[in-house]
Amino acid sequence: MSQLELREVTKRFGEVIAVNRLSLQVEKGECFTFLGPSGCGKTTTLRMIAGFEDLDEGELLVEDSLYSSSYRKFYVPPEKREFGMVFQAFAVWPHLTVKENVAFPLRIKRRPSNEIENRVKMALTSTNLMKFKDSYPGRLSGGEQQRIALARAIAINPKVMLLDEPLSNLDAKLREEMRFEIKALQNRFGFTVIYVTHDQAEAMALSDRMLVMNYGVVQQVGKPLDIYNKPANRFVFSFIGLSNFIPVMIKEGDAFIERTSQIASHNAPRELGPRAIMACRPSDITFVPISEIDDEKGSLGVQALVIRRTYLGDIVDLKVKVGSVDLRIQKNARSPCPREGESCRIRFNKVIWYPEEYPKESQDIMENQPKTNSSAS
Protein backbone atom coordinates (compact mmCIF):
# COMPACT_ATOMS: atom_id res chain seq x y z
CA MET A 1 0.00 0.00 0.00
CA SER A 2 1.49 3.34 -0.98
CA GLN A 3 1.13 6.28 1.39
CA LEU A 4 -0.17 8.64 -1.25
CA GLU A 5 -1.34 8.02 -4.78
CA LEU A 6 -2.32 10.36 -7.59
CA ARG A 7 -4.18 8.84 -10.55
CA GLU A 8 -4.37 10.81 -13.81
CA VAL A 9 -4.80 14.07 -11.92
CA THR A 10 -5.60 17.04 -14.13
CA LYS A 11 -6.24 20.71 -13.31
CA ARG A 12 -7.26 23.46 -15.68
CA PHE A 13 -7.39 27.23 -15.22
CA GLY A 14 -9.48 28.46 -18.09
CA GLU A 15 -7.70 27.40 -21.27
CA VAL A 16 -4.46 26.51 -19.56
CA ILE A 17 -3.81 22.95 -18.42
CA ALA A 18 -1.85 23.53 -15.25
CA VAL A 19 -1.42 19.86 -14.38
CA ASN A 20 -1.72 17.27 -17.11
CA ARG A 21 -2.67 13.69 -16.23
CA LEU A 22 -0.23 13.28 -13.40
CA SER A 23 0.05 9.82 -11.88
CA LEU A 24 2.40 8.80 -9.13
CA GLN A 25 2.77 6.79 -5.95
CA VAL A 26 4.64 7.96 -2.89
CA GLU A 27 5.81 5.37 -0.35
CA LYS A 28 5.56 5.69 3.38
CA GLY A 29 8.54 7.50 4.87
CA GLU A 30 9.70 8.74 1.49
CA CYS A 31 10.85 12.28 0.85
CA PHE A 32 9.41 13.07 -2.56
CA THR A 33 10.10 16.34 -4.35
CA PHE A 34 8.34 18.16 -7.16
CA LEU A 35 10.95 20.19 -9.01
CA GLY A 36 10.39 22.67 -11.80
CA PRO A 37 10.43 26.35 -12.83
CA SER A 38 7.75 28.74 -11.61
CA GLY A 39 4.43 28.14 -13.27
CA CYS A 40 5.15 24.48 -14.05
CA GLY A 41 2.26 23.18 -11.95
CA LYS A 42 4.11 21.89 -8.92
CA THR A 43 2.45 24.20 -6.40
CA THR A 44 -0.96 23.54 -7.96
CA THR A 45 -0.37 19.83 -7.50
CA LEU A 46 0.56 20.34 -3.87
CA ARG A 47 -2.52 22.45 -3.25
CA MET A 48 -4.65 19.72 -4.77
CA ILE A 49 -3.07 17.21 -2.43
CA ALA A 50 -3.76 19.57 0.48
CA GLY A 51 -7.31 20.13 -0.65
CA PHE A 52 -7.19 23.87 -1.33
CA GLU A 53 -7.85 23.19 -4.99
CA ASP A 54 -9.98 20.39 -6.26
CA LEU A 55 -9.13 18.02 -9.09
CA ASP A 56 -10.80 18.61 -12.42
CA GLU A 57 -10.06 15.00 -13.31
CA GLY A 58 -8.49 12.06 -11.57
CA GLU A 59 -8.31 10.69 -8.08
CA LEU A 60 -6.27 11.18 -4.93
CA LEU A 61 -5.83 8.38 -2.42
CA VAL A 62 -4.13 8.39 0.96
CA GLU A 63 -3.33 5.02 2.54
CA ASP A 64 -5.71 3.52 0.01
CA SER A 65 -8.63 5.73 1.16
CA LEU A 66 -10.18 8.01 -1.40
CA TYR A 67 -9.66 11.68 -0.56
CA SER A 68 -10.81 13.18 -3.78
CA SER A 69 -12.33 11.83 -6.95
CA SER A 70 -13.68 13.66 -9.94
CA TYR A 71 -15.57 10.60 -11.15
CA ARG A 72 -17.38 9.95 -7.91
CA LYS A 73 -17.70 13.65 -7.13
CA PHE A 74 -16.11 13.03 -3.76
CA TYR A 75 -13.94 15.49 -1.87
CA VAL A 76 -12.53 15.59 1.64
CA PRO A 77 -12.02 19.21 2.80
CA PRO A 78 -8.53 20.29 3.96
CA GLU A 79 -9.43 20.44 7.63
CA LYS A 80 -10.22 16.74 7.61
CA ARG A 81 -7.13 15.50 5.79
CA GLU A 82 -4.74 15.38 8.76
CA PHE A 83 -1.78 16.66 6.83
CA GLY A 84 0.92 18.96 8.10
CA MET A 85 1.76 21.87 5.84
CA VAL A 86 4.58 24.38 5.73
CA PHE A 87 4.05 27.42 3.50
CA GLN A 88 6.56 29.61 1.68
CA ALA A 89 5.60 32.69 3.66
CA PHE A 90 5.73 30.71 6.92
CA ALA A 91 2.04 31.44 7.74
CA VAL A 92 2.84 31.62 11.42
CA TRP A 93 0.11 33.42 13.41
CA PRO A 94 1.58 36.65 14.76
CA HIS A 95 -0.93 37.08 17.57
CA LEU A 96 -0.17 33.72 19.18
CA THR A 97 3.03 32.76 20.97
CA VAL A 98 5.32 30.11 19.54
CA LYS A 99 3.88 27.52 21.92
CA GLU A 100 0.30 28.50 21.07
CA ASN A 101 1.09 28.30 17.37
CA VAL A 102 2.43 24.78 17.67
CA ALA A 103 -0.41 23.66 19.95
CA PHE A 104 -3.17 25.09 17.76
CA PRO A 105 -3.86 22.05 15.53
CA LEU A 106 -3.86 19.78 18.56
CA ARG A 107 -6.34 22.00 20.39
CA ILE A 108 -8.61 22.05 17.39
CA LYS A 109 -8.58 18.28 17.39
CA ARG A 110 -9.42 18.40 21.10
CA ARG A 111 -6.53 16.21 22.20
CA PRO A 112 -6.14 15.78 25.98
CA SER A 113 -3.97 18.50 27.51
CA ASN A 114 -1.12 16.31 28.67
CA GLU A 115 -0.82 14.87 25.17
CA ILE A 116 -0.74 18.39 23.77
CA GLU A 117 1.90 19.35 26.34
CA ASN A 118 4.11 16.42 25.39
CA ARG A 119 3.79 16.77 21.67
CA VAL A 120 4.47 20.50 21.74
CA LYS A 121 7.54 19.93 23.88
CA MET A 122 8.80 17.26 21.49
CA ALA A 123 8.24 19.44 18.45
CA LEU A 124 9.87 22.49 20.00
CA THR A 125 12.90 20.55 21.22
CA SER A 126 13.54 18.93 17.89
CA THR A 127 13.43 22.30 16.14
CA ASN A 128 15.53 24.07 18.79
CA LEU A 129 12.73 26.45 19.72
CA MET A 130 12.19 25.63 23.41
CA LYS A 131 13.82 28.86 24.52
CA PHE A 132 11.35 30.86 22.43
CA LYS A 133 8.21 29.07 23.47
CA ASP A 134 6.62 32.11 25.08
CA SER A 135 7.83 34.64 22.52
CA TYR A 136 5.80 36.09 19.71
CA PRO A 137 6.85 35.21 16.14
CA GLY A 138 7.32 38.85 15.21
CA ARG A 139 10.44 38.94 17.38
CA LEU A 140 12.07 35.99 15.69
CA SER A 141 14.14 35.81 12.52
CA GLY A 142 12.95 34.31 9.23
CA GLY A 143 14.71 31.02 9.84
CA GLU A 144 13.25 30.74 13.33
CA GLN A 145 9.75 31.48 12.05
CA GLN A 146 10.13 28.78 9.46
CA ARG A 147 11.04 26.37 12.25
CA ILE A 148 7.86 27.32 14.09
CA ALA A 149 5.95 26.28 10.99
CA LEU A 150 7.89 23.02 10.89
CA ALA A 151 7.29 22.34 14.58
CA ARG A 152 3.59 22.99 14.12
CA ALA A 153 3.44 20.45 11.31
CA ILE A 154 5.51 17.88 13.20
CA ALA A 155 3.45 18.11 16.40
CA ILE A 156 0.40 16.42 14.91
CA ASN A 157 2.39 13.44 13.57
CA PRO A 158 0.78 13.88 10.18
CA LYS A 159 0.07 11.22 7.62
CA VAL A 160 1.87 13.31 5.05
CA MET A 161 3.89 16.50 5.41
CA LEU A 162 3.54 19.04 2.63
CA LEU A 163 6.20 21.69 2.14
CA ASP A 164 5.62 24.46 -0.38
CA GLU A 165 8.95 26.14 -1.24
CA PRO A 166 9.59 26.64 2.48
CA LEU A 167 13.10 28.00 2.07
CA SER A 168 12.57 30.54 -0.74
CA ASN A 169 12.20 33.49 1.60
CA LEU A 170 15.44 32.79 3.44
CA ASP A 171 18.91 33.97 2.50
CA ALA A 172 21.42 31.66 0.83
CA LYS A 173 23.38 30.63 3.90
CA LEU A 174 20.25 29.90 5.93
CA ARG A 175 18.77 27.93 3.05
CA GLU A 176 21.76 25.65 3.09
CA GLU A 177 21.56 25.10 6.82
CA MET A 178 17.80 24.59 6.88
CA ARG A 179 17.75 22.01 4.13
CA PHE A 180 20.01 19.76 6.12
CA GLU A 181 17.86 20.37 9.19
CA ILE A 182 14.68 19.40 7.36
CA LYS A 183 16.34 16.24 6.11
CA ALA A 184 17.53 15.37 9.60
CA LEU A 185 14.02 15.85 10.99
CA GLN A 186 12.56 13.69 8.31
CA ASN A 187 15.09 10.96 8.99
CA ARG A 188 14.43 11.12 12.69
CA PHE A 189 10.64 10.99 12.60
CA GLY A 190 10.15 9.02 9.40
CA PHE A 191 7.45 11.29 7.94
CA THR A 192 6.28 10.96 4.38
CA VAL A 193 7.23 14.31 2.88
CA ILE A 194 6.06 15.97 -0.30
CA TYR A 195 8.31 18.89 -1.10
CA VAL A 196 7.94 21.52 -3.80
CA THR A 197 10.85 23.68 -5.00
CA HIS A 198 12.44 25.32 -8.02
CA ASP A 199 15.94 24.97 -6.57
CA GLN A 200 17.59 21.85 -7.90
CA ALA A 201 20.33 21.79 -5.27
CA GLU A 202 17.65 21.71 -2.60
CA ALA A 203 15.77 18.96 -4.39
CA MET A 204 18.86 16.87 -4.81
CA ALA A 205 19.91 17.32 -1.20
CA LEU A 206 16.58 16.33 0.29
CA SER A 207 14.85 13.81 -1.89
CA ASP A 208 14.68 10.09 -1.93
CA ARG A 209 12.93 10.45 -5.26
CA MET A 210 11.99 13.44 -7.31
CA LEU A 211 9.72 14.45 -10.16
CA VAL A 212 10.78 17.10 -12.66
CA MET A 213 7.90 19.03 -14.17
CA ASN A 214 7.38 21.59 -16.90
CA TYR A 215 4.17 23.09 -18.28
CA GLY A 216 2.13 20.72 -16.16
CA VAL A 217 3.71 17.63 -17.66
CA VAL A 218 5.95 15.14 -15.89
CA GLN A 219 9.38 15.20 -17.51
CA GLN A 220 11.11 12.59 -15.40
CA VAL A 221 10.70 10.69 -12.15
CA GLY A 222 13.49 8.97 -10.28
CA LYS A 223 16.26 9.10 -7.73
CA PRO A 224 18.25 12.35 -7.72
CA LEU A 225 21.51 10.79 -8.84
CA ASP A 226 19.80 8.88 -11.64
CA ILE A 227 18.15 12.04 -12.92
CA TYR A 228 21.46 13.86 -12.71
CA ASN A 229 23.28 11.15 -14.60
CA LYS A 230 20.58 10.36 -17.17
CA PRO A 231 18.32 13.36 -17.75
CA ALA A 232 15.42 12.27 -19.94
CA ASN A 233 15.45 15.31 -22.18
CA ARG A 234 17.13 18.67 -22.76
CA PHE A 235 14.84 20.47 -20.40
CA VAL A 236 15.71 18.22 -17.49
CA PHE A 237 19.38 18.35 -18.40
CA SER A 238 19.52 22.13 -18.36
CA PHE A 239 17.33 22.47 -15.30
CA ILE A 240 19.38 20.12 -13.14
CA GLY A 241 22.70 21.83 -13.62
CA LEU A 242 24.97 23.97 -15.73
CA SER A 243 24.98 22.72 -19.27
CA ASN A 244 26.65 22.89 -22.64
CA PHE A 245 24.56 21.99 -25.67
CA ILE A 246 26.66 21.39 -28.78
CA PRO A 247 24.95 21.03 -32.13
CA VAL A 248 26.68 18.24 -34.09
CA MET A 249 26.48 16.65 -37.52
CA ILE A 250 26.74 12.87 -37.41
CA LYS A 251 28.37 10.91 -40.21
CA GLU A 252 29.03 7.22 -39.74
CA GLY A 253 29.32 7.39 -36.01
CA ASP A 254 31.53 10.48 -35.92
CA ALA A 255 30.05 13.64 -34.46
CA PHE A 256 31.36 16.81 -36.06
CA ILE A 257 30.91 20.05 -34.20
CA GLU A 258 28.62 22.12 -36.37
CA ARG A 259 30.35 24.14 -39.06
CA THR A 260 33.75 22.78 -38.19
CA SER A 261 35.70 19.70 -39.14
CA GLN A 262 36.41 18.92 -35.50
CA ILE A 263 35.24 15.57 -34.26
CA ALA A 264 33.87 15.65 -30.74
CA SER A 265 33.10 11.97 -30.50
CA HIS A 266 33.56 8.76 -32.42
CA ASN A 267 30.66 7.05 -30.68
CA ALA A 268 27.70 9.01 -31.87
CA PRO A 269 24.51 6.95 -31.94
CA ARG A 270 23.18 6.30 -35.41
CA GLU A 271 19.49 6.31 -34.47
CA LEU A 272 19.37 10.09 -34.12
CA GLY A 273 19.90 10.88 -37.77
CA PRO A 274 22.33 13.33 -39.30
CA ARG A 275 21.91 16.08 -36.77
CA ALA A 276 21.79 15.90 -33.00
CA ILE A 277 22.61 17.76 -29.80
CA MET A 278 25.52 16.65 -27.66
CA ALA A 279 25.02 17.70 -24.06
CA CYS A 280 27.66 17.80 -21.37
CA ARG A 281 28.40 19.45 -18.05
CA PRO A 282 31.16 22.05 -17.58
CA SER A 283 32.91 19.60 -15.27
CA ASP A 284 32.83 16.85 -17.92
CA ILE A 285 35.16 18.64 -20.31
CA THR A 286 38.86 18.23 -19.66
CA PHE A 287 41.97 19.73 -21.11
CA VAL A 288 44.26 17.33 -22.89
CA PRO A 289 47.74 17.80 -21.44
CA ILE A 290 50.30 18.79 -24.02
CA SER A 291 52.22 15.55 -23.56
CA GLU A 292 49.31 13.54 -24.90
CA ILE A 293 48.56 15.52 -27.98
CA ASP A 294 49.39 13.61 -31.07
CA ASP A 295 49.15 15.84 -34.08
CA GLU A 296 49.41 13.07 -36.61
CA LYS A 297 46.41 11.20 -35.29
CA GLY A 298 44.57 14.48 -34.91
CA SER A 299 41.82 12.71 -33.12
CA LEU A 300 42.74 13.40 -29.54
CA GLY A 301 40.67 16.29 -28.48
CA VAL A 302 39.11 19.28 -30.11
CA GLN A 303 40.94 22.55 -30.77
CA ALA A 304 39.59 25.42 -28.69
CA LEU A 305 40.48 28.99 -27.80
CA VAL A 306 40.19 30.21 -24.21
CA ILE A 307 38.29 33.49 -24.29
CA ARG A 308 37.65 33.98 -20.59
CA ARG A 309 39.16 32.60 -17.42
CA THR A 310 37.69 33.45 -14.03
CA TYR A 311 39.03 32.42 -10.66
CA LEU A 312 36.25 31.50 -8.24
CA GLY A 313 38.16 30.20 -5.26
CA ASP A 314 37.99 26.43 -5.33
CA ILE A 315 36.99 26.37 -8.95
CA VAL A 316 38.17 28.02 -12.13
CA ASP A 317 35.50 28.87 -14.69
CA LEU A 318 36.51 29.06 -18.35
CA LYS A 319 34.75 29.98 -21.53
CA VAL A 320 36.23 28.46 -24.68
CA LYS A 321 35.31 28.83 -28.30
CA VAL A 322 35.17 25.99 -30.82
CA GLY A 323 34.23 27.37 -34.20
CA SER A 324 31.11 29.38 -33.48
CA VAL A 325 30.17 27.39 -30.38
CA ASP A 326 30.90 28.74 -26.86
CA LEU A 327 31.53 26.14 -24.18
CA ARG A 328 31.71 26.50 -20.42
CA ILE A 329 34.28 24.50 -18.49
CA GLN A 330 34.78 24.25 -14.74
CA LYS A 331 37.85 22.76 -13.14
CA ASN A 332 39.27 22.35 -9.69
CA ALA A 333 41.49 25.40 -9.10
CA ARG A 334 44.45 23.25 -8.30
CA SER A 335 44.56 21.42 -11.61
CA PRO A 336 46.49 23.16 -14.39
CA CYS A 337 44.54 25.01 -17.05
CA PRO A 338 45.42 27.30 -19.89
CA ARG A 339 45.28 31.09 -19.73
CA GLU A 340 43.08 33.55 -21.53
CA GLY A 341 43.90 33.84 -25.19
CA GLU A 342 45.64 30.50 -25.31
CA SER A 343 44.81 27.72 -27.67
CA CYS A 344 44.20 24.31 -26.18
CA ARG A 345 42.69 20.90 -26.79
CA ILE A 346 39.65 19.67 -24.97
CA ARG A 347 38.11 16.28 -24.59
CA PHE A 348 34.55 15.35 -23.65
CA ASN A 349 34.44 12.78 -20.88
CA LYS A 350 30.76 12.17 -20.59
CA VAL A 351 28.08 13.23 -22.99
CA ILE A 352 24.41 12.64 -23.42
CA TRP A 353 22.85 12.70 -26.85
CA TYR A 354 19.52 14.29 -27.62
CA PRO A 355 17.59 14.62 -30.84
CA GLU A 356 17.75 17.97 -32.53
CA GLU A 357 14.13 18.95 -32.19
CA TYR A 358 13.11 19.98 -28.76
CA PRO A 359 10.46 17.42 -27.79
CA LYS A 360 6.96 18.78 -27.42
CA GLU A 361 6.03 19.07 -23.80
CA SER A 362 3.27 16.55 -23.89
CA GLN A 363 5.21 13.78 -25.62
CA ASP A 364 5.67 10.61 -23.73
CA ILE A 365 9.02 10.63 -21.96
CA MET A 366 9.56 7.04 -22.98
CA GLU A 367 10.11 8.18 -26.55
CA ASN A 368 13.01 10.35 -25.52
CA GLN A 369 15.20 8.05 -23.52
CA PRO A 370 18.72 9.42 -23.81
CA LYS A 371 21.74 7.46 -25.03
CA THR A 372 24.62 7.75 -22.63
CA ASN A 373 28.33 7.34 -23.34
CA SER A 374 30.90 7.18 -20.64
CA SER A 375 33.65 8.44 -22.86
CA ALA A 376 33.65 10.13 -26.20
CA SER A 377 36.65 8.51 -27.75
Partner 1 sequence: MKDLSKSLKKIDVSTVILIFSILILVVIVAVPVLLIFLTAFFENGKFNIAGVVKVLSDPNTYNALLNSFIIAAGTTLLSTAVGTFFAWLVARTDLPFKNTMKALFLVPFMLPSFIGALAWKVLLSPRSGYLNKFIISIFNLEKAPIDIMSMGGIIVIESMYLLPFVFLQVEGALERMDPTLEESARISGASLFTITRKITLPLVMPSILAGALLVALYSLSHFGVPSILGTEKGIFTIPTKIYERIYASGGSFSAIRVGTILATILVISAALILKLQDVLLKKGQYQVIAGKSMRPVVLKLRGLKYPLLIISFIYIFITIILPTVTIFLVGGLKTYGLPFQLKYMTFDNYLKIFQWKMTKDAIWNSLYLSLSAALVTMLAGTMISYAIVKMNFKGKFILQFLGVLPYSLPGTVIALGVILTWSGRFGINLYNTAAIIFVAYIARYMAFAIKSSSASLSQVSDSLEEAARACGATHWQTLKDIVLPLIRPGMISAFFLIFLPALRELTTSVLLYGPTTRTIGVAIYTLNEDGETVKAAALAGIALIIIFVGETLIRKFLAKLEQRAVRVKEIENVAA
Partner 2 sequence: MADLKLQQIKKAFGDHIVLDRFDLHIRSGECFTIIGPSGCGKTIILRLIAGFETPDAGEVFIGDTKVADAHHALAPEERKIGVVFQDYAVWPHKTVYGNVAYPLEIAGLTKSDIAKQVHNALALVNLDGYEMRFPYQLSGGQQQRVALARALVMRPEILLLDEPLTNLDANLREEMRFEIKEIQKATGATILYVTHDQEVAMALSDRLAIMDEAGRIHQIDTPEIIYTHPIDIFVFKFLGISNIISIKVSEHFASVKIKDKTVELPFVAPSSMEGKEGTLGFRPMDVQIERKGNSADFPAIATRVTILGPIVDYLFDFQGIPIRAQALTDDALAADLILEPGEKVFLSVHEPKWFNSEGVTQQ
Residues at the site binding partner 1, with contacts judged by CB under 8 A: 50-52, 77-85, 87-89, 91-95, 104-105, 108-109, 138, 149, 152, 156
Query: Counting contacts by CB under 8 A, is residue 330 touching partner 2?
Result: yes
Question: Which span sits near partner 2 by CB under 8 A: 9-17, 40-48, 238-246, 256-264?
Answer: 238-246
CB of 97 to partner 1, least distance (A): 13
CB of 174 to partner 1, least distance (A): 17
CB 19 within 8 A of CB 44: yes
* CA gap 84, 89 in Å, rounded: 15
CB of 109 to partner 1, least distance (A): 5
Query: Counting contacts by CB under 8 A, is residue 308 touching partner 2?
Result: yes
Q: Which CB, 162 or 206, lies closer to partner 1?
A: 162
314 binds, among partner 1, partner 2, none (CB under 5 to 8 A by kind): partner 2
Question: Which positions from 66 to 95 touch partner 2 by CB under 8 A, shown as an x/- string?
Answer: ------------------------------
CB of 373 to partner 1, least distance (A): 42
* Member of 350, 355, 361, 365 binding partner 2 (CB under 8 A): 350
Rounded to the nearest 10 degrees, the angle between the axes of helix 142-155 and helix 172-189 is 20
CB of 91 to partner 1, least distance (A): 4
Q: Which CB, 24 or 50, lies closer to partner 1?
A: 50
* CA gap 292, 143 in Å, rounded: 52
204 binds, among partner 2, partner 1, none (CB under 5 to 8 A by kind): partner 2
CB of 335 to partner 2, least distance (A): 10
Query: Counting contacts by CB under 8 A, is residue 205 touching partner 2?
Result: yes
CB of 202 to partner 2, least distance (A): 9
Query: Counting contacts by CB under 8 A, is residue 283 touching partner 2?
Result: yes
* CA gap 238, 218 in Å, rounded: 15
CB of 110 to partner 1, least distance (A): 9
* Member of 72, 80, 297, 334 binding partner 2 (CB under 8 A): 334
Q: Which CB, 105 or 282, lies closer to partner 2?
A: 282
Could you say which residues in the range 242-281 bind partner 2, by CB under 8 A? 242, 281
CB 365 within 8 A of CB 232: yes
Q: List residues near partner 2 by CB under 8 A.
A: 180, 183, 200-201, 204-205, 224-225, 228-229, 240-242, 281-284, 308, 310-315, 317, 330, 332, 334, 349-350
